[in-house]
Amino acid sequence: MIGQKILHYQILEKLGEGGMGVVYKAQDTRLDRLVALKFLPSGYSGDEQEKKRFMQEARAASSLDHPNICTIFEIGEEDGKLFIVMGYYDGETLKNRLSRSAYDPKEALKLSRGIAEGLACAHAQGIVHRDIKSANIIVTKDNTPKILDFGLAKLSGQTQMTKAGTTLGTAAYMSPEQAHGEKTGHHTDIWSFGVVLYEMLTGEIPFRAEHEVAMMYRIMNEEAPPPSGLDKRIPRVIDQLVLKMLEKDPARRYQTMDEVVRAITETREAMETAAALPKTKAIAVLPFSNISPDKESDYFSDGLTDELITNLSRLKDIRVVPRTTAMQYKATKKDNKTIGYELGVPYILAGSVRKFQENLRITVELVDIASDAQMWADAYKGKLEDVFDFQEQVSQKIVDALMLKLTPTEKIVLSKRQTENSEAFDCYLRGREFLYRHTKSAVQIAIELFQKATQLDTRYAAAYAGLGEAYAHLYENFEKKENWLNRALEAGLKAQMYDSTLSEAYATLALVYFRMTDIGKGSLEDTLSAGQKAIELDPNNYIGYWILGRIYHTTDRDQEAVSMYRKVIEINPDFYSAYMDLQTAYEKLGQKEKWTETLNAALTMYPRYLLQHPDEGRAHILYAADLTKVGRFDEARVEAAKAIQLSPDDSLMLYNVACFYSRLGEKNTAVETLKKAIISGYENYEWIKRDSDFENIRSEPAYIELMEGK
Position 589 in a domain: no
Same domain, 47 and 150: no
Number of domains in the chain: 4
Same domain, 307 and 246: no
* Model pLDDT, residue 40: 73
For the chain (710 residues), the mean pLDDT of every run of 10, in chain order, is 88 82 90 88 64 70 87 83 87 92 93 95 89 92 88 43 42 88 88 96 90 87 87 81 93 93 88 64 88 75 84 82 84 82 85 83 86 80 80 82 78 78 89 80 91 95 93 80 90 93 91 80 85 90 90 89 92 89 92 93 91 83 91 91 82 84 89 87 79 88 86
* Model pLDDT, residue 479: 76
Same domain, 119 and 261: yes
Position 395 in a domain: yes
- Concatenated DSSP letters for 23-66? EEEEEETTTTEEEEEEEPPHHHHT-HHHHHHHHHHHHHHHT---
CATH of the domain at 700: 1.25.40
CA pseudo-torsion sign 322, 325, 328, 329: negative
Same domain, 680 and 629: yes
Same domain, 148 and 260: yes
Cβ(253)–Cβ(247) below 8 Å:
yes
Question: 390: domain range?
Answer: 282-415
Cβ(532)–Cβ(544) below 8 Å:
yes
pTM of the model: 0.53
CATH of the domain at 47: 3.30.200.20
Same domain, 66 and 121: no
- Concatenated DSSP letters for 387-445? HHHHHHHHHHHHHHHTT----HHHHHHHH--S-S-HHHHHHHHHHHHHHTT--HHHHHH
Q: Where are the alpha helices (DSSP H) in 276-331?
A: 298-313, 323-326
* Model pLDDT, residue 306: 83
